[in-house]
Amino acid sequence: MKGLVLGGTSSGVGKTVATLAVIRALDREGVTVQPAKAGPDFIDPSHHERVAGRPSRTLDRWLQGADGLRRNYHRGEGADGRGPSARETGSPAVCVVEGVMGLYDGDGSSTAMVAEALDLPVVLVVDAKAGMESVAATAVGFREYAAHAGRDIDVAGVIAQRAHGGRHADGIREALPDGLTYFGRIAPDDALEIPDRHLGLHMGEESPLGEDALDAAAEHLRVDRLRAVAREPPRPEASGGVRGPSGPRSGDAGGPRVAVARDDAFCFVYPATLERIRERGELVPFAPADGEGLPDCDGVYLPGGYPERFAADLAAGPALDSLADRAADGLPVFGECGGLMALAESLTTTDGETYEMAGVLPADIEMHERYQALDHVELRAREDTLTAATGDRRRGHEFHYSSADPAGDARFAFDVERGDGISEGRDGLTEYRTLGTYCHCHPESGAVDAFLDTL
């Protein structure tokens, strides 16, 4: 599967819209598109999935390492649970990777690091609303900076975001020197604005771009040039990674039944996590915010999301009460970020409303107007827990607007080597066989397999 990376000159330059436009343009030419996102984001991929019809892969050097990143890329060649794979259709396939922040920004896993690990060309998204030759100068600067920094980054050309046609587009194209390709433009259009809130844009199913707007955005992109520049990354050197057993539990052909919260309150989950659960057992979805109770299961996974937006529904529904009862009986329960919040004693919104949560973990959660943590994270296990053995390290990501006030006798499973965690350099509140963290872990970290091994 050939691929290319859409890198931006900065955050807010319009990478997501450009990515969706490229997906639409390729799709209209009969190309099977596998979307991907550089960095640990959950929201942009939800827009990718809606337009491409298949889950977006997560590509992050910090979360996965170089080989893990390549493994996750190449898994996109197979079926992803929605629609046929490129192999099954027999159609040509291109992976379109949306970058994170500016091309070179980020010490844990920048877009440049991802492009370098995969040896993929970078198509630079430049905001052209107030420039022509300066767009070319910007592209030249980004290309030359790679050599200056000793980086093997191939800046292949530009997509001019918010560029008009005629003289504006001609001026950009003519100013580009040899070696930098003009891949087209996306015209200014208010219909291409995606609303945002804390944590980022609205989710793809919540505020999708209209079909007409997407078609218009794709109209002036040069699909032939995009396909010509795409290339296939190297295969990973190792086939394994930090992984546990690849099959079901010994003596249990069906594997464990894992109840996974899948609704608007718990919508931040990596496709690879769901794939891993399905590989080793049975994934049983349930919707706590929609009033569904906890299904019969061997363990529970509560992903991140927006529990604060649905706190009243969660408090009134049956799921948290049954979760509390089952957790007290020893059912393994793993909650990440939003899952941690739902497992706590209470949740107070920015409006000052306080709602009872499951009450499994001894902490009260409060929402804030400003984010409380944003970083790649590394944790070291203080004790054996659901996702790690004593001394094991787990890499992940944290981004949240809430803070936790744990009880004085609260137990923590992890010391934080990088990041903020829950409190005073610690993360992983634990009680019974329940674990709640602010850290989101990708399966390449080993956390998901460790959890499944306990079931």
Asked whether 34 and 94 are in contact (CB, 8 A), the reply is yes
Q: Which of 95, 297, 337, 439 is catalytic?
A: 337
Both 196 and 267 in one domain: the answer is no
Calculate mean pLDDT across residues 83-102. 75
191, 211, 229 - which closes a domain: 229
Task: For 298-333, write each residue's pLDDT tens digit.
Answer: 999 999 999 999 999 999 999 999 999 999 999 999
Task: For 110-148, write each residue's pLDDT tens digit.
Answer: 999 999 999 999 999 999 998 899 999 999 999 999 989
Residue 367 has pLDDT above 90, yes or no: yes
Active-site residue, 337 included: yes
Kindly report whether the global pTM for this prediction surpasses the value 0.85: yes
Q: Which of 168, 96, 89, 167 is nearest to 126 (CA)?
A: 168
Asked if residue 242 is part of any domain, the answer here is: no
Task: For 8-19, write each residue's pLDDT tens digit.
Answer: 999 999 999 999
Both 438 and 299 in one domain: the answer is yes
Residue 389 has pLDDT above 60, yes or no: yes
Asked if residue 236 is part of any domain, the answer here is: no
Q: Which of 420, 376, 375 is nearest to 395 (CA)?
A: 376
190, 214, 229 - which closes a domain: 229
Both 280 and 400 in one domain: the answer is yes
The secondary structure of 393-449 as a DSSP string is EEEEEEEESEEEEE-TT-EEEEEEEES-TTBTTEEEEEETTEEEES-EE-GGGTHHH
Distance of alpha carbon 373 from alpha carbon 299, whole angstroms: 28
Both 216 and 310 in one domain: the answer is no
Q: How many CB atoms lie within 10 A of CB 75?
A: 16
Task: For 244-268, write each residue's pLDDT tens digit.
Answer: 444 444 334 579 999 999 999 999 9
Question: Which pLDDT does position 237 carry in this prediction?
Answer: 75
- What length is written for the chain? 455
Asked if residue 241 is part of any domain, the answer here is: no
The percent helix, strand, coil of the chain (3-state, each to 5) is 30, 30, 40
Question: Which pLDDT does position 204 carry in this prediction?
Answer: 85
Both 51 and 191 in one domain: the answer is yes
Distance of alpha carbon 407 from alpha carbon 20, whole angstroms: 45
Both 311 and 447 in one domain: the answer is yes
pLDDT class of 429 with cuts at 50, 70, 90: very high
Both 264 and 206 in one domain: the answer is no
Both 268 and 213 in one domain: the answer is no
Of the chain, the percentage scoring pLDDT greater than 90 comes to: 86
Both 219 and 297 in one domain: the answer is no
What domain range includes position 104?
Answer: 2-229
The distance in angstroms from the start CA to the end CA of the chain is 36
Asked if residue 141 is part of any domain, the answer here is: yes
Work out the mean pLDDT of the chain and round it to a whole number.
92
Question: Which pLDDT does position 301 carry in this prediction?
Answer: 98
Question: Which pLDDT does position 322 carry in this prediction?
Answer: 96
Both 45 and 101 in one domain: the answer is yes
Question: Which pLDDT does position 242 carry in this prediction?
Answer: 44
DSSP 2: E
CATH, residue 138 = 3.40.50.300
Residue 84 has pLDDT above 70, yes or no: no
CATH, residue 289 = 3.40.50.880
Both 20 and 84 in one domain: the answer is yes
Asked if residue 251 is part of any domain, the answer here is: no
pLDDT class of 205 with cuts at 50, 70, 90: confident
Q: Which of 5, 376, 20, 440 is nearest to 201 (CA)?
A: 20
Residue 85 has pLDDT above 60, yes or no: no
Question: Which pLDDT does position 245 carry in this prediction?
Answer: 40
Asked if residue 234 is part of any domain, the answer here is: no
Asked if residue 350 is part of any domain, the answer here is: yes
| Number of structural domains in the chain | 2
Both 70 and 201 in one domain: the answer is yes
The secondary structure of 145-157 as a DSSP string is HHHHTT----EEE
Contacting residues for 12 by C-beta, under 8 A, at least 6 apart: none
Q: Which of 192, 78, 175 is nearest to 136 (CA)?
A: 175
Asked if residue 247 is part of any domain, the answer here is: no
Task: For 146-204, write each residue's pLDDT tens digit.
Answer: 989 899 999 999 999 999 999 999 999 999 999 999 999 999 999 898 888 887 888 88
